[in-house]
Amino acid sequence: MAAAERLVVIGGDAAGMSAASQARRLKGPDELEIVAFERGHFTSYSACGIPYWVGGAVQDRDDLIARTPEEHRARNISLRVRTEVTAIDVAGGRVRSRDLESGAESWTGFDKLVVATGARPVRPALPGIDAPGVHGVQTLDDGQALIDTLERTKGRHAVVVGAGYIGVEMAEALVGRGYEVTVLNRGEQPMSTLDPDMGRLVHDAMNGMGITTVSGAEVTKILTGDDGRVRAVATDGETYPADVVVLGIGVEPETALAREAGLPVGSSGGLVTDLSMRVAGHENIWAGGDCVEVLDLVSGRRRHIALGTHANKHGQVIGSNVGGGYATFPGVVGTAVSKVCDLEIARTGLREKDARAEGLRFVTATIESTSRAGYYPGASPMTVKMTAERRTGRLLGVQIVGREGAGKRVDIAAVALTARMTVEQMTALDLGYAPPFSPVWDPVLVAARKAVTAVRKGGA
Amino acid sequence: MAAAERLVVIGGDAAGMSAASQARRLKGPDELEIVAFERGHFTSYSACGIPYWVGGAVQDRDDLIARTPEEHRARNISLRVRTEVTAIDVAGGRVRSRDLESGAESWTGFDKLVVATGARPVRPALPGIDAPGVHGVQTLDDGQALIDTLERTKGRHAVVVGAGYIGVEMAEALVGRGYEVTVLNRGEQPMSTLDPDMGRLVHDAMNGMGITTVSGAEVTKILTGDDGRVRAVATDGETYPADVVVLGIGVEPETALAREAGLPVGSSGGLVTDLSMRVAGHENIWAGGDCVEVLDLVSGRRRHIALGTHANKHGQVIGSNVGGGYATFPGVVGTAVSKVCDLEIARTGLREKDARAEGLRFVTATIESTSRAGYYPGASPMTVKMTAERRTGRLLGVQIVGREGAGKRVDIAAVALTARMTVEQMTALDLGYAPPFSPVWDPVLVAARKAVTAVRKGGA
């Protein structure tokens, strides 16, 4: 007996397969048939874990896979890997797909559709960008290709282009592989998701670790050898030898398919959904993960943020709604945490330039403290920068650069932003205190106190 | 020229000296004279750090001292150590003090008074309780006395009476000193600040570390040898050999002086203040730190919680108000974090029995997760228990038992409690995610999701 309805999912990673799994929990196979298409070989894997696999901290690729195609199939999800969806026929309620092995194309009808096509790494149109040895690291297939290159070439010099999260994590990974690593960064500082003063701390720390970090470097050309493989990276300044190049410039939502089908794309480049993750104007189409834009609860603006934790939440929400339940994704506050070797980097909320762009006036407070009581072994320095709206004192953002124990403190600010707290309210927060865990005034509280003083004085 | 006003501070640790220091920042010596009395030898020290000093993680006693009497004096605070205040004459606006070295008594007038007399360890009236070798660990003087005993006796067996924060931290300290440690605990489980099911995890972990943890053991007598020193601890069950005994039964507010002066004491045993930390009914008397009760924002009830982080906040608030500014201490949500060896223990909000006592109906959700992505090196297991009000889904409390990286996650819940979030709201929190820091669903989010399901189903 055919199921009453068919759900088609495009994209077999976090958002798509979370949606499929959650829908399956709520509806059995005779109520809902689920067909999922994945272009690559793998499903439900942690793309965020790729740098740690490349670097060797994670030994086995399969450790990154939460659920294999076989495991999904065992849950009555019809999963087609190495099968690319090439068209969405919205009016006809069907998608066209191509088997990447055989080249065969076919149409599959849907009653409900989930678009979870993810993001793709930005590849600037530079001479040599497609040379062997130049790698993106967005998918598990990408990671495998990079590892194959590393193992085959056994080079000495690695260049990472871009110094955002992926860039710094890949720098750590390549250091772990024994490479001499140069990070080329177009902007004023690494980590453009931080304010420049905090990015400067990252810059200095990375150079201190032996990672050559060059800011203000515009890559002009990828130079290749006689064998056609990458040899060096030329910038508007120097040229850097490279046996391997990793692109960590950032990602952009993969929306070509959806655009062609007429689905709405916002100014961020991501698909536009409502709070239930349904594509605006389409009753039976949902979208989630790295291909959509999300509401930034602090600025009220829609942004594109590619992050596994959001993708999983989107999938959960979509699956609940597809399965006849009710759930929403209210938005984000822009939290991110990362590390490069033992340096922890975290941020949430608005940067100064974001606040300025929204017409907000603000004050900032930057403090130095330690992750544990100063006298406790392992207490490590950390810098916390806090931004608050002038007059109202509403928290606008927090950035943290430090060592062990620094990064996850950003969660305090993430919850406070969600609750729209003022920095004055934050000074009274009852945070966990014991000498192995925190100074008697948690660094976030110290920053809040200083921000209160700044708000009282006015300024900015 | 005499100052316009005199502030007298009773108690030279966190609350008292924070108040004095903050008042001094706001008012110079010709506006405000500040006289502070401290019974012991030390000022402004971290009592919470004593276990780590005893255990050897902190080498030097002076590391625990944030500011010495001399440093306070250099800031124009007239500090009298080894001087005990023996009476407060509220009507007369003066305090009587005794120099503990000379025995000399004198009166000192005040315009404003801060009572920061702290807490004292509970010493049950047991035979032998005053024998040499039986130690409390509330003050730096207490800590020094214990270390002197440990160095003199070089024993093998230590018994800790009580298994609250101080008890478990002292157990770790004594293990660090090479002792065979037995923790005797009257209650059903160690850590009565946790629900019994979570306390059981602590019990099992402590026994797994080689700390003999005996629950349901009522101490009946301290046995002494021919030299009068402690030899063993007898319970209603077995008798345990002891070269040293540490009392970790808890503390009670030190309010004898304030009671005699007619200052109001609440049902918790702590002094009653308003939100500005002014003693109820007394225009010019403030109180803070371990001798006061505080408002529990979750239950609405006043409780006594002795914790350095609160004491520092109280002092800050009092000093601001005494100095002519304005600040309040809105209350606590009951956050505490501790560790015993590598086991991290944290809690915030209400226990099941607290919720029941307030007439609240609730659901609970307990989950197991890991501190980092499961595949990331060093990912350690943690258990999170979440309690939410039935029907409304309001978060009521969170308890965490785990290893490295577990404890400080309680801050997420502490902020959410302050903001009176529901567990449904919590499921959407934008917490920091990267594999070295968290699974893609932070353990607190996993608990929130399970709690949402429990709220939907009803129950309890």
pLDDT at A2 over 80: no
Q: Give the per-residue pLDDT at B459.
A: 60
> Helices marked H in B75-185 — which ranges?
140-153, 165-176
pLDDT at A69 over 60: yes
Task: Answer yes or no: do A432 and B57 touch at CB < 8 A.
Answer: no
| Nearest-angstrom CA–CA distance, B396 and B398 | 7
Q: Are A418 and B448 in contact (CB under 8 A)?
A: no
Give the residue ranges of chain B where pLDDT is below 70: 1, 459-460
Q: How confident is the model at residue A153 (pLDDT cuts 50, 70, 90)?
A: confident
The two beta strands, B395-402 and B343-349, are antiparallel
More confident residue, A369 or A249: A369
Q: Are A416 and A429 in contact (CB under 8 A)?
A: yes
> Helices marked H in A27-164 — which ranges?
50-55, 69-74, 140-153
Q: Are B301 and B266 in contact (CB under 8 A)?
A: no
A276 touching B, CB under 8 A?
no
Sequence-distant (≥ 6) Cβ neighbours of residue A226 within 8 angstroms: none
Chain length of chain B = 460
Which tens digit of pLDDT belongs to each residue from A432-448?
A: 999 999 999 999 999 99
B432 → closest Cβ in A405, A407, A416: A407
| Amino acid occupying residue B265 | V
Q: Which residues of B are catalytic?
A: 48
Span A43-66, mean pLDDT? Answer: 94
| Nearest-angstrom CA–CA distance, B301 and B292 | 13
- B-chain CB neighbours of A194 within 8 Å are none
Question: At which residue do the structure tokens 């609940």 appear?
Answer: A320
Q: Give the per-residue pLDDT at A1.
A: 54
A26 touching B, CB under 8 A?
no
| Nearest-angstrom CA–CA distance, A201 and A190 | 9
Q: Are A346 and A194 in contact (CB under 8 A)?
A: no
CB contacts under 8 A, A 397-416 vs B, are 405, 407-412, 414-416
Sequence-distant (≥ 6) Cβ neighbours of residue B280 within 8 angstroms: B264, B272, B273, B274
The two beta strands, A239-241 and A157-161, are unpaired
Span A333-341, mean pLDDT? Answer: 96
B57 → closest Cβ in A335, A376, A428: A376
Closest CA to A180 of A132, A138, A240: A240
Task: Go through the domains of chain A in sequence order and give each one's CATH number.
Answer: 5-120+252-322 (3.50.50.60), 123-249 (3.50.50.60), 342-457 (3.30.390.30)
> A68 pairs with which residues across the strands?
none
Question: For testing the chain A interface, which of B59, B380, B409, B415 should be mutated: the one with the most A CBs within 10 Å?
Answer: B415
Residue A257: in which H helix or E strand, if any? helix A256-260
Question: At which residue do the structure tokens 């979509």 appear?
Answer: A318
B83 touching A, CB under 8 A?
no
Tokens of A254: 């993969």
- B-chain CB neighbours of A306 within 8 Å are none
pLDDT at A101 over 80: yes
Q: Give the per-residue pLDDT at B458.
A: 81
Order of strands across the sheet that contains B285-287:
B78-80, B32-37, B5-10, B112-115, B285-287
Cα A406 to its chain centre, rounded Å, is: 20
Tokens of A205: 């720390």
B414 → closest Cβ in A410, A421, A431: A431
| Amino acid occupying residue B353 | K
Phi and psi at A15, nearest 5°, equal -65, -50
- A-chain CB neighbours of B315 within 8 Å are none
Tokens of B413: 């819940």
CA distances in angstroms from A203 to A239, A348, A351, B286, listed in the order given: 20, 19, 18, 48
Question: At which residue do the structure tokens 């010596």 appear?
Answer: B29
Chain B, nearest residue to A275 by Cα = B428
Task: Give the distance from residue B57's alpha carbon to the nearest chain A alpha carbon, in angstroms.
Answer: 7
A437 touching B, CB under 8 A?
yes
